[in-house]
């Protein structure tokens, strides 16, 4: 019975913004095929999204869009903001799916993204102060790797990276450590796929980790492959604040899955792919930005207290 109540709570936790999708290809001043999987960060009064934009060749670059309320009146860069570096072999097929964190120590934003080429997808890092100029730090770990984000500070002297290598065709989330953002090691499995569940075939980090008093709030995508194709849904986990390699809680059920037409139909139907989270302090609301069906950008909102109550009611333990 307790489980059923929790499942009901999970189902009603996030409300889709009625103006969804908030960004589509029509908003771009140049011809593009799809705009999706946005990283999100709040800079003073402004919400900044760094959006994966797929061009008419099928290659992606990243584009900045800014808004005061995080919902409407987006100002979109009129040319690609961050393009693949054609001198970097690993970026020959474009750059995809960014995540952003503010690194207090560096006083800069760290952008992790996927560099794509015939060598396979790898996770790369760029640093920026203003989202106009970027310092590229290159690929962090060997392919095949995706869905990565740094945590915003060091743990016992080391930076931590959550990422999703593919090993033996399996896709689990890992955490790795580095003294200098360049050399990575001490790799540990973090969140694994679960047989038979909605997240049985793949899991990958969604948004940047959200710091709360109870721990790092993690949104991740979980995939089940059905006879009709893959379904991408969203789960929640909580990592220990001081030792983020420890999983404190993990939702049994998903909290958001494809339901609306813009989530069910697109270049990749039945995909809800969260990649940016913002907490609006004035209302204590959490805005979850996601790519819908690999075509548009959408947002769902929840009270942060309700999300924390829910995650604290989820099963304990490490996976």
Contact residues toward ligand BMA (CB under 6 A) are 37, 96-97, 232, 268, 271, 273, 291, 294
Residue 146 beta carbon to ligand BMA: minimum distance, rounded to whole angstroms: 6
The span from the first CA to the last CA of the chain, in angstroms, equals: 24
Kindly tell me which of 285 and 294 has the beta carbon lying closer to ligand BMA. Answer: 294
Residue 130 beta carbon to ligand BMA: minimum distance, rounded to whole angstroms: 26
Distance CA 144, CA 161 (A): 15
Residue 87 beta carbon to ligand BMA: minimum distance, rounded to whole angstroms: 24
Distance of alpha carbon 85 from its chain centroid, rounded? 22
Strands 75-76 and 95-103: unpaired
Residue 220 beta carbon to ligand BMA: minimum distance, rounded to whole angstroms: 12
Phi, psi of 109 (to 5 degrees): -90, 140
Kindly tell me which of 202 and 249 has the beta carbon lying closer to ligand BMA. Answer: 202
The residue of the chain with the least Cβ separation from ligand BMA equals 268
Kindly tell me which of 145 and 285 has the beta carbon lying closer to ligand BMA. Answer: 145
Kindly tell me which of 96 and 253 has the beta carbon lying closer to ligand BMA. Answer: 96
Query: Do residues 256 and 198 touch, judged by C-beta distance below 8 A?
Result: no
3-state secondary structure at position 159: strand
The closest alpha carbon to 192, from 244, 247, 124, 256, belongs to: 247
Residue 283 beta carbon to ligand BMA: minimum distance, rounded to whole angstroms: 29
Give kind and range of the element (H or E) at residue 264: helix 261-264
Kindly tell me which of 62 and 314 has the beta carbon lying closer to ligand BMA. Answer: 62
């Amino acid at each position: 019975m307790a489980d059923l109540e929790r499942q009901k709570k999970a189902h009603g936790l996030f409300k889709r913004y009625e103006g969804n999708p908030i960004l589509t290809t029509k908003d771009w001043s140049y011809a593009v095929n799809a705009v999706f999987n946005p990283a999100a960060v709040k800079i003073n009064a402004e919400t900044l999204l760094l959006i994966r934009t797929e061009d008419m060749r099928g290659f992606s670059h990243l584009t900045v869009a800014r808004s005061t309320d995080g919902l409407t009146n987006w100002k979109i860069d009129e040319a690609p903001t961050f393009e693949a570096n054609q001198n970097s072999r690993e970026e020959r097929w474009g750059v995809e799916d960014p995540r952003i964190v503010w690194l207090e120590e560096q006083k800069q934003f760290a952008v992790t993204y996927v560099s794509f080429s015939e060598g396979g997808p790898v996770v790369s890092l760029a640093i920026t102060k203003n989202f106009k100029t970027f310092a590229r730090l290159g690929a962090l770990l060997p392919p095949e790797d995706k869905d990565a984000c740094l945590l915003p500070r060091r743990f016992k002297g080391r930076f931590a990276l959550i990422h999703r290598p593919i090993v033996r065709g399996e896709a689990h989330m890992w955490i790795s450590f580095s003294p200098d953002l360049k050399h990575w090691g001490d790799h540990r499995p973090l969140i694994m796929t679960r047989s038979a569940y909605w997240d049985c075939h793949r899991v990958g980090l969604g948004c940047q980790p959200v710091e709360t008093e109870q721990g790092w709030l993690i949104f991740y995508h979980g995939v089940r492959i059905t006879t009709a194709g893959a379904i991408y849904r969203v789960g929640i986990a909580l990592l220990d604040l001081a030792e983020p390699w420890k999983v404190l809680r993990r939702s049994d059920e998903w909290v958001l899955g494809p339901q609306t037409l813009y989530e069910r139909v697109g270049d990749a139907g039945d995909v809800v792919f969260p990649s940016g989270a913002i907490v609006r302090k004035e209302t204590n609301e959490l805005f979850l930005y996601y790519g819908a069906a690999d075509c548009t950008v959408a947002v769902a909102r929840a009270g942060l207290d309700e999300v924390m109550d829910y995650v604290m009611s989820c099963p304990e333990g490490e996976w």
